[in-house]
């Protein structure tokens, strides 16, 4: 018998794969809403759903401003939350049936781990292997007032049933930017408060593009949060910039201050300085036969990597060879556009950039001169693609394939016979062709 703890991306995929190999698998998940983990219930899927509504509203407003439609819609945030919960319930039912259909026994129970033993529902288990995939939870900063009413984290945000009037988002990363766009479109006066700079660590081109999509959002950088103020409910946030303090009035605060591994109920296993479970290259912990995968092992907190780690743990349990981890991981930030990026470790930030073409999803943005951008990075000597950044309505659809080409060491020359679908808002294909010609010209010059 093998026990998997956590029904999110890492644990669920691992459990199904083990069951497919004939193993008896018990999957413990304490979430009453069903399987799917943070991704379905508080993370990626929630943001995608709300971003869909925000972008549809933005698109309709653009048509209204051009005189094409006679109304400009608004978001009913209460209704949005209600309908989103209905769809989440449907998805949870589908993946629950898929999981049990492979032979996995799913038990809705909080499980604790002590070394190589599992305790759940008053029963002690001593399986042949354990996989811990308990995910992550929001990091709550040490700021006075985080316990006030109307202070939320991405996990508690589903309890917000109305659109805020004045909202302060504390944080500088992807989640802060994505929610700032959503709530700005929903009608809130939004302020982002960043301790350092917005989207620190991302290429400057992406930060510039994101700022454009966040037009109308107040962005306060290099600013410290002194306290969240209010009696019972929040009334404002006290900030300090360059030694000067001020209070920004607000009725809602969102703490988008990062994640931390969820390791409550886990003991007898070595943890890292930030509470993450330490694993080796085979995803095995300090206790033989006990493995961990996904967010519980620390950053980066990305669903595709969690799934991959879950599969890697299964390979180790089954005694299969270890597969190398790709060096280039794609990621998308969903704002007015999708900002997709993937960089190989040896990629340089400079590259060739062009405006993305006007096409479905961006045709009516030509009057705003906001059809997006495309950036391709290549090695001047070999022509090998090393990174890209694409801003377009649906750039995430191609991002995974582009990352695959980069990980495979493909040269732009190999893409010379590639034929794109037309019309398309992706500009990377044009850049591939342009870089191919430049590389061919360079080789021709060297041969002469």
Q: What is the mean pLDDT of residues 288-308?
A: 97
- Residue 381: pLDDT band with limits 50, 70, 90: confident
3-class DSSP assignment, residue 152: strand
- CA-angle at 14, arms to 134 and 309, nearest 5°: 70
| 274-283 contact pairs (CB < 8 A, 24+) | 274/298, 277/132, 281/322, 282/312, 282/313, 282/315, 282/316, 282/322, 283/309, 283/312, 283/313, 283/316
- Give the model's confidence band at 444: pLDDT under 50 very low, under 70 low, under 90 confident, else very high: low
Asked if pLDDT for residue 443 goes beyond 90, the answer is no
- The pLDDT of residue 420 is 87
Residue 363 scores a pLDDT above 90: yes
Return the SS3 of 339: strand
Dist. CA 279–CA 272, nearest whole Å: 10
Q: Across residues 59-75, what is the average pLDDT?
A: 95
In whole angstroms, give the CA distance from residue 159 to residue 150. 9
Question: Given a cut of 80, is residue 299 above it in pLDDT?
Answer: yes
Tell me what the mean pLDDT of segment 160-187 comes to: 96
CA distances to 92, 189, 225, 230, 384 from 141, rounded to whole Å, are 31, 23, 10, 17, 43
| pLDDT score, position 429 | 87
Average of per-residue pLDDT across 161-169: 94
Which residues neighbour 76 within 8 Å (Cβ) at sequence distance 6 or greater? Answer: none
Q: What is the pTM of this model?
A: 0.95
Q: What is the pLDDT of residue 73?
A: 94
Average confidence (pLDDT) over 102-113: 98
- Rounded Cα distance between 167 and 147, Å, is 16
pLDDT at 213: 97
The structural domains of the chain, ordered by start, are 2-137+260-318 (3.50.50.60), 151-257 (3.50.50.60), 331-447 (3.30.390.30)
Residue 387 in this model has a pLDDT that exceeds 90: yes
Region 168-176 average pLDDT: 98
131, 3 in Cβ contact below 8 A?
A: yes
């Amino acid at each position: 018998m093998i026990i998997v703890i956590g029904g999110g991306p890492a644990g669920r995929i691992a459990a199904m794969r083990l069951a497919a190999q004939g193993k008896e698998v018990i999957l413990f998940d304490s979430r009453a809403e069903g399987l799917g983990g943070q991704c379905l219930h508080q993370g990626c899927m929630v943001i995608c759903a709300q971003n869909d509504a925000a972008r549809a509203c933005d698109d309709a407003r653009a048509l209204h401003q051009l005189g094409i439609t006679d109304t400009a819609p608004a978001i009913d945030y209460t209704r949005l939350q209600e309908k989103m919960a209905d769809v989440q319930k449907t998805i949870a039912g589908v993946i629950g049936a898929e999981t049990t259909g492979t032979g996995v026994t799913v038990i809705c129970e909080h499980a604790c781990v002590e070394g190589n033993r599992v305790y759940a529902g008053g029963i002690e288990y001593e399986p042949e292997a354990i996989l811990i995939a308990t995910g992550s939870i929001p990091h709550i900063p040490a700021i006075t007032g985080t316990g006030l009413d109307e202070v939320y984290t991405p996990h508690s945000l589903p309890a917000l049933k109305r659109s805020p009037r004045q909202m302060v988002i504390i944080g500088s990363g992807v989640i802060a930017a994505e929610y700032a766009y959503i709530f700005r479109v929903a009608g809130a006066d939004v302020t982002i408060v960043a301790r350092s700079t917005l989207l620190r660590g991302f290429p400057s081109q992406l930060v510039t593009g994101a700022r454009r999509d966040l037009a109308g959002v107040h962005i306060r950088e290099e600013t410290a949060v002194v306290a969240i103020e209010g009696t019972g409910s929040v009334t404002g946030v006290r900030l300090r910039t360059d030694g000067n303090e001020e209070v920004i009035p607000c009725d809602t605060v969102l703490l988008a201050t990062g994640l931390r591994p969820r390791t409550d109920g886990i003991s007898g296993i070595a943890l890292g300085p930030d509470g993450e479970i330490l694993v080796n290259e085979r995803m095995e912990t300090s206790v033989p036969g006990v493995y961990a995968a996904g967010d519980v092992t620390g950053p980066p907190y990305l669903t595709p990597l969690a799934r991959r780690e879950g599969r890697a743990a299964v390979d180790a349990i089954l005694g299969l060879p270890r597969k190398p981890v790709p060096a280039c991981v794609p990621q998308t930030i969903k704002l007015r556009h999708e900002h997709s990026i993937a960089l190989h470790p040896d990629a340089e930030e400079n590259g060739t950039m062009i405006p993305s073409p006007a096409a479905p999803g961006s045709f009516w943005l030509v009057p705003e001169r906001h059809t997006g951008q495309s950036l391709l990075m290549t090695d001047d000597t070999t022509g090998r693609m090393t990174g890209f950044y694409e801003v377009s309505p649906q750039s995430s659809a191609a991002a995974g394939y582009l990352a695959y080409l980069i990980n495979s060491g493909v040269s732009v020359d190999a893409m010379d016979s590639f034929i794109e679908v037309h019309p398309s808002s992706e500009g990377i294909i044009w850049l591939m062709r342009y870089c191919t010609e430049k590389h061919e010209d360079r080789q021709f010059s060297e041969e002469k």
